[in-house]
A and B are shown apart, each in its own frame.
Chain A
Amino acid sequence: MVKADALVVRGLHKQIGGRTILKGVSFEATTGDLVMITGPNGAGKTTLLRILACLLPKSAGEVLWNGTPYGLEHGAIGYISHKPMLYESLSVYDNLQFFGRMYGASSKEFEQELLTLVGLWRYRYEPAAVLSRGMKQRLAIARMLISRPRMILYDEPFTSLDQEGQDLLKGLLEKERLKTIQLIVTHEPRLLSGLEYKELRLQGGRIEQGESYDT
């Protein structure tokens, strides 16, 4: 039985320069939740994810993990953006191994399992630089999973993925549901069809619609 985690966001504000990006965003999620964050460009979706990932400081409000504030030392946040965030000069395998060792979660079996899962095992000795954009995104998925995250933040993860890659990611969203809290920013809700999710719609830094379940 996996321990259930809880993410609580209360009155989150973010100002950058003179501009207020987030204006009192509040929501809750627990293990098993898949939260789709939608909204027009500039609504604050990516800013929200980056604050939750501790990559950006908040201006005001609370972000709690199991009732306590957290930082980068959390160690169990998986983050995927539309950029693959990989070392181009390192091979596919070395990229995965480097991040695995950084998280202290590396084993040859696990690395092989992940590269097989994302369909890159036979490309393991190729430098990341020669991979196509979609293949890099698959490697980014493996890099994210190697930390065995308990919260996964996806920022436009379907970008550059072909049909097979999109199916793989959809399968992953369902598979990881049992162990994680998942938040996904996407402009393409149709790609989540068939999955049960909550929707948070951001508009001008505020939640316009939230906590509704869709399938």
Chain B
Amino acid sequence: MIPRFWNKVFLIYRKDLKDEIQTFGQLIGTLVFGVMLVFIFSYALQLVNLEVSRVFPAALWVSVYFSASLILQRAFSKEAEEGTLDALLLASGDRGILFLAKFFCSLSILLIFEIVVVPLMWAFMGVSGQNLQLGYFAMSLFLGSWGLAAIGTLLNGMTVQLPGSRLLFPLLLFPLLIPLLMGAILTSQGALLGEVQSVMGWFYLLLMFDLTFTVVPLLLFDYVLEG
């Protein structure tokens, strides 16, 4: 039973990731959008006299948030547009499978996006990184992205069958993400400045937030996708 569950999660995940790579344009479009945000931030911050290391995490997460709102919207919208959601529901047999597969796919794309954008942003903004605690910095990126992917997948599933879902999604996403974004910015800043001990509580909060928004939707997704 359990191997079958995970096998189905993997099959949908692989299909979605393959589709994202094949429809290269959308992924590239999101990356270009993210890079443009990097340019805008680095240009704007050169005009004001601010300590880059303190501003960098906020600029980074604003870029990630805007790009993520494009990435996360695709999880279920594409299935709904192609009319494949019903076939997929029948074949999966458990809506939790769909949630996990879409969540893992969104998380993977977000992480690919960050692998490209974070070093670019780092270089353009001239961050010194003298006191950087790399492991914690990577953990803050991962936990923040996990939460973004989990909430985005849940919300996309909730709104995909509603009229005006493309407008509703970003409107509902932001208020839900406020605690997550606060935690992600503060933990990234702590790791960048070598002050991890002072933000340890935020790391735990991020972890709890991520676990909650992964486990609860997994259990309740039957109701979320009911038309």
User: B74 an interface residue at 8 Å Cβ cutoff?
Assistant: no
User: B11 an interface residue at 8 Å Cβ cutoff?
Assistant: yes
* Chain B interface SS verdict (over half): helix
* Contact partners of B12 in chain A: CB under 8 A: 102
Given A86-B84, A87-B84: A79 and B15 interface contact (C-beta under 8 Å): no
User: B92 an interface residue at 8 Å Cβ cutoff?
Assistant: yes
Q: Indicate which residue in A73, A81, A85, A98 contacts B11 across the interface (CB closer than 8 Å).
A: A98
* Contact partners of A147 in chain B: CB under 8 A: 90-91
Chain B window 1-45, contacts with chain A (Cβ cutoff 8 Å), 1 for yes, 0 for no: 000100110011001000100110000000000000000000000
Beta-carbon contact of B87 and A103 below 8 Å: no
Q: Indicate which residue in A55, A56, A90, A98 contacts B90 across the interface (CB closer than 8 Å).
A: A55
Beta-carbon contact of A89 and B4 below 8 Å: no
Which residue from chain B places its CB closest to the CB of A84 in the assembled complex? B83
User: B86 an interface residue at 8 Å Cβ cutoff?
Assistant: yes
Which residue from chain B places its CB closest to the CB of A79 in the assembled complex? B90
* A39 to B82 CA separation, bound complex (whole angstroms): 28
User: A113 an interface residue at 8 Å Cβ cutoff?
Assistant: no
Shortest Cβ distance from residue B26 to the other chain A in the assembled complex, whole angstroms: 11
Beta-carbon contact of A81 and B91 below 8 Å: no
Given A85-B87, A87-B19: A56 and B227 interface contact (C-beta under 8 Å): yes
Residues of A18-58 whose CB lies within 8 A of B: 50, 53-57
B residues lining the A interface (CB < 8 Å): 4, 7-8, 11-12, 15, 19, 22-23, 82-84, 86-95, 226-227
